[in-house]
């Protein structure tokens, strides 16, 4: 069995660690590129959301490298995620690929089913498999912690790119760590490297939160590495969604003492008090939660993403209630980096002028489509 899975940010490091620990051969798809997007777009229904298309491209690229089994997450609720797997299975069958698809439903909703699938996948002992989950968790958490520091450093570093170079080497090294101690040592070493970066002292920095649909928030290929663009524009990014939080919320039942989405859901309730699928409710709650910490909020989502469209309509009200500039960005296969950069420049320029140049007339709600 040669398994593969879709990309989403740094998930390949987590996934590879877990499934290799299960005793499986793992084929990590090549990183998402224009080629991945073109393959996915060619074979997907036009109206499908962008993550379905790119994931399909990931699978086909991995199949060409020898993968014969796809492991993917399932979904529940009112949005389309619940039938992603079926559509992708049919497309791949129509294309003549003979492969198996193992769909892991959210463990907090279908625990028994997930359990059966995990047992089916396991080729090693329980001890070894549990160890690999434990190790994968520590890797994921360490990556997220360093990425938060990266967000803080980018707008302040004298030589733009220093922090990203260190983070790139950190990712390569952490992938090959085989014990929790190695993970800790590697993370400590790279934290030290980051702390040695020359920074501007007292540089005016604005703070912007990125909220929205999890795939577009976490996958730099689809958001055009928006966090890096913002860093270059002198913006410290606050991102309330990280993979470790998702794992803690959905896999560990929120038992670990790290920040989860409970508070955001509570804060969203005056605006939206029920589940609308995806991360719609969290998007609204995160904007409210961060209103005093940031100077503006960017919501990002795939074009036609239903939960985020619902959230967008409520973000108008959040923006009005707290005088918080909020911009919404939808992405699809037609989105270009130049257009996105222009919008980010305009949005952050408005915030900057308001915050540092006293242009009070510039306080406006900035919503986009």
Residues lying near ligand SF4 in the complex (CB under 6 A): 49, 51, 79-81, 213, 277-278, 302, 305-307
Q: State how far the alpha carbon of 94 is from the alpha carbons of 41, 51, 62, 73, 327, in Å.
A: 15, 20, 17, 22, 40
Q: What angle do CA 268, 237, 273 make, to 5 degrees?
A: 5
Give me the residue label for tokens 């989860």. 260
Pairing of strands 2-4, 25-26: parallel
- Among all residues, whose Cβ is closest to ligand SF4? 278
User: Three-state SS across 173-229?
Assistant: HHHCCCCHHHHHHHHHHHHHHHHCCCECCCCCCEEEEEEECHHHHHCCCCCCCHHHH
User: DSSP 3-state assignment of 101?
Assistant: strand
What token pair was written down for 290? 């961060």
Q: How far apart are CA 211 and CA 231, in angstroms?
A: 16
Question: What is the helix (H) or strand (E) element at residue 103, kind and residue range?
Answer: strand 100-104
Which residues pair with residue 208 across a beta bridge?
Answer: 237, 296
Tell me the longest C-alpha to C-alpha distance in the chain: 65
């Amino acid at each position: 069995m040669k398994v593969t899975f879709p990309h989403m940010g740094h998930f390949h490091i987590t996934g590879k660690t877990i499934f290799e620990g299960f005793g499986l051969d793992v084929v990590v798809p090549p990183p998402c590129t224009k080629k991945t997007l073109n393959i996915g777009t060619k074979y997907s229904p036009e109206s499908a959301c962008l993550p379905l298309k790119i994931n399909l491209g990931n699978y086909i690229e991995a199949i060409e490298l020898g993968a014969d089994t796809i492991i993917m997450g399932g979904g529940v609720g009112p949005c389309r995620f619940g039938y992603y797997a079926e559509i992708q299975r049919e497309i791949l069958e129509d294309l003549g690929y003979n492969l198996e698809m193992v769909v892991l439903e959210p463990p907090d909703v279908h625990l028994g089913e997930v359990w059966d699938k995990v047992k089916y996948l396991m080729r090693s002992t329980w001890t070894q498999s549990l160890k690999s989950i434990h190790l994968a968790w520590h890797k994921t958490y360490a990556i997220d912690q360093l990425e938060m520091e990266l967000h803080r450093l980018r707008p302040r570093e004298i030589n733009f790119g220093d922090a990203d170079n260190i983070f790139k080497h950190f990712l390569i090294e952490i992938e090959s760590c085989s014990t929790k101690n190695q993970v800790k040592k590697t993370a400590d070493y790279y934290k030290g490297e980051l702390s040695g970066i020359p920074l501007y002292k007292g540089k005016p920095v604005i703070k912007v939160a990125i909220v929205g649909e999890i795939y577009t928030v976490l996958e730099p290929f689809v958001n055009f590495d928006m966090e890096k663009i913002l860093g270059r524009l002198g913006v410290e990014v606050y991102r309330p969604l990280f993979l470790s939080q998702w794992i803690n919320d959905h896999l560990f039942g929120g038992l670990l003492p790290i920040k989860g989405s409970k508070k955001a859901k509570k804060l969203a309730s005056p605006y939206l008090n029920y589940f609308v699928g995806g991360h719609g409710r969290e998007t609204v709650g995160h904007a409210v939660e961060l209103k005093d910490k940031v100077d503006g909020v960017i919501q990002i989502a795939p074009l036609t993403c239903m939960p985020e469209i619902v959230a967008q309509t409520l973000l108008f009200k959040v923006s009005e209630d707290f005088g918080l500039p909020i911009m919404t960005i939808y992405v699809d296969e037609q989105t270009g980096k130049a257009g996105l950069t222009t919008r980010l420049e305009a949005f952050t320029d408005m915030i900057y002028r308001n915050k540092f140049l006293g242009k009070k007339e510039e306080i406006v709600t900035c919503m986009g489509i």
